[in-house]
A and B are shown apart, each in its own frame.
Chain A
Amino acid sequence: MANWIEACDADDVDEEDVIPVEIDGHQYAVYRSPDDRYYATDGFCTHEQFMLADGLVMGNIIECPKHNGRFDYTTGEGKGAPICENLATYPVKVEDGTVFVELGG
């Protein structure tokens, strides 16, 4: 069964930006793309555990705030060194101005 959790207001995230969201003690990052879609990933870089929400969003790419590692936040795919591991992504839906994340059962 889907487990949709309320993450934030849609207005909390600017276009082409990211914010940190904590749910049940876990850190997630919620993104709003330049074409106004919402995405969610784990909150920390897979390389050295830095908070991705402090990084820069350019198009569909989030850059780690420390080591310049890059991920496509729409798919979680790492974009070259020093990233070895992809980023976990989560389904997102927006209803009545609220962003929900599906974290699994």
Chain B
Amino acid sequence: MTAPDRIVIVGAGECGAAAAAALRDNGFAGSLTLVGAESLPPYERPPLSKASLVSADEPTPVLAATAERLADLDVAFISGIAVEVIQRDDRVVRLADARELPYDRLLLATGARARSLPIEGGGHALTLRTHDDAVALRSDLVPDRHLVVLGAGFIGLEVAASARQLGCRVTVLEMAPSALSRAVPPAIADVIVERHLDEGVDIRFNARTTGIRLTDNGFALDVTGNAEPLPADLVLAGIGATPNIELAADAGLECDNGIAVNSALQTSDPAIYAAGDCAAAISELYDGRRIRLESWRNAYDHANTAAANLLGGSDAHQAVPWFWSDQYDLGLQIAGLFDAASDNVSRKRHDDTTIVFGLDGDGRLVAAGAVGAGTSIARDIRVAERMIAARLKPAVGDLTNPDQPLKKLLQA
């Protein structure tokens, strides 16, 4: 294919902004347009449930790229306007205000949206995905108010921690028998749940909410197994996210739990790529499985792979999945995919922190995770991430021995 003159990026989150910067870093000198449906410049979402929420004042956005930075990069930034349709035959995207943007290459970085609660009165529950959501939630987090969080996933538990720090009473209702799903080994999830209990959060498992009703002074939740409705001053649903695939699907692009892309992040149309939360990509590292990740780091890493390939490359995406969560003063980090592991082994460090390693059936390291104070576990997880990337098969005895530096295993 000839080199592109015009590139359009749909979606101005972390991924879209990082891709724009990476395209310029890679020497792309043609016309570059970034279109975002929200009115703000590209901003980072991770703080929305953490630092921004516990700030004394209204949350302020942490910008991934300021308007000045985008101007310096010669990126035409169109904000507050949705893309309505992709006309693939003409290679044009049409915006909600009827503007048309021709492209040679198109990157879809449309992200995901918070899943809404499919129950009676589910619309009473707040969700948290955007800066505006965080502003609305923050204004309701007043000391002594009772927040009920539906879902013991990352968003739910991070908001629970932030709300406790602000002096709210917090109840978490989770349908499943445990927190944080398959992505996190029980040994790590248990540390986090214990900490929430110590902080006074009421966490109830196997608790299904069947309806939310308005009452004179708030809400009442019908919860299976509870004779009495549960009163709440506010309700937050943290039950996952749905990838924004409609634009791609309407244009006839292949979708499969996300916009389907190959390992080079190319969609079923060779002129169109997809990256970040919306993209379900073939993973070479995980045996050709199609995986879709919702994380800051994946958005950033995908952006860099996509930028190289939009300019004519065909590099398979190689970065190891990685994400973090902060709750109270605890920092969790996971590298790799625990659902690819058939066996977990753990190392108890001398500071009492446990590192869990996931091995596949061949003994290959495919995941590592830990939770500890601040960033105290970061180094071990980072070394493990490199071991995963190198497809190493370390001896179990070396992994479990706290006196065996992981870095030595990497260099061996």
Q: Tell me the nearest residue of chain A to B326, going by C-beta.
A: A66
> Are B383 and A51 in contact, CB atoms less than 8 angstroms apart?
no
List the A side residues contacting B165 at CB < 8 Å: none
Q: Mark A60-103, 1 if CB is under 8 A from B, else 0.
A: 00010111100000000000111000000000000000000000
Q: A51-B374, A81-B18 are in contact. Are A56 and B300 (CB under 8 A)?
A: no
The complex places the Cα of A96 from the Cα of B297 at a distance, in Å, of: 44
List the A side residues contacting B18 at CB < 8 Å: 81
> Are A56 and B382 in contact, CB atoms less than 8 angstroms apart?
yes
> Are A56 and B21 in contact, CB atoms less than 8 angstroms apart?
no
Q: Give the size of the chain B interface in residues (CB under 8 angstroms).
A: 15
> Of B25, B300, B375, B407, which is within 8 A of A54 by CB?
B375
Q: Tell me the nearest residue of chain A to B373, going by C-beta.
A: A54
Q: Tell me the nearest residue of chain A to B378, going by C-beta.
A: A65
Identify which of B18, B297, B378, B407 gathers the most chain A CB atoms within 10 Å of its CB: B378
List the A side residues contacting B378 at CB < 8 Å: 54-56, 65-66
CB-contacts of B344-384 with A (<8 A): 374-376, 378-379, 382-383
> Are B375 and A56 in contact, CB atoms less than 8 angstroms apart?
no
Q: Give the size of the chain A interface in residues (CB under 8 angstroms).
A: 14
The complex places the Cα of A50 from the Cα of B377 at a distance, in Å, of: 13
The complex places the Cα of A63 from the Cα of B25 at a distance, in Å, of: 21
The complex places the Cα of A50 from the Cα of B297 at a distance, in Å, of: 16
Tell me if B77 is interfacial: C-beta within 8 Å of chain A.
Answer: no
Interface of B: prevailing SS: helix
> Of A50, A63, A81, A82, which is within 8 A of B382 by CB?
A63
The complex places the Cα of A65 from the Cα of B33 at a distance, in Å, of: 33
The complex places the Cα of A82 from the Cα of B375 at a distance, in Å, of: 18
| B63, chain A: closest CB distance, angstroms | 12
The complex places the Cα of A51 from the Cα of B104 at a distance, in Å, of: 43
The complex places the Cα of A72 from the Cα of B379 at a distance, in Å, of: 17
> Are A66 and B382 in contact, CB atoms less than 8 angstroms apart?
no
> Are A68 and B297 in contact, CB atoms less than 8 angstroms apart?
yes
CB-contacts of A11-26 with B (<8 A): 16
Tell me if B328 is interfacial: C-beta within 8 Å of chain A.
Answer: no
| A59, chain B: closest CB distance, angstroms | 11
> Are B324 and A56 in contact, CB atoms less than 8 angstroms apart?
no
Q: A66-B324, A68-B297, A82-B300 are in contact. Are A54 and B22 (CB under 8 A)?
A: no
Residues in chain A within 8 A of chain B (CB atoms): 16, 50-51, 54-56, 63, 65-68, 80-82
Closest 4 CB pairs of A and B: A65-B378, A65-B375, A54-B375, A56-B382
Residues in chain B within 8 A of chain A (CB atoms): 18, 21-22, 25, 297, 300, 324, 374-376, 378-379, 382-383, 407
Can you report 26 residue pairs joining A to B where beta carbons are below 8 Å apart?
A16-B407, A50-B375, A51-B374, A54-B374, A54-B375, A54-B378, A54-B379, A55-B378, A55-B379, A56-B378, A56-B382, A56-B407, A63-B382, A65-B375, A65-B378, A65-B382, A66-B324, A66-B378, A67-B297, A80-B25, A81-B18, A81-B21, A81-B22, A81-B25, A81-B300, A82-B300
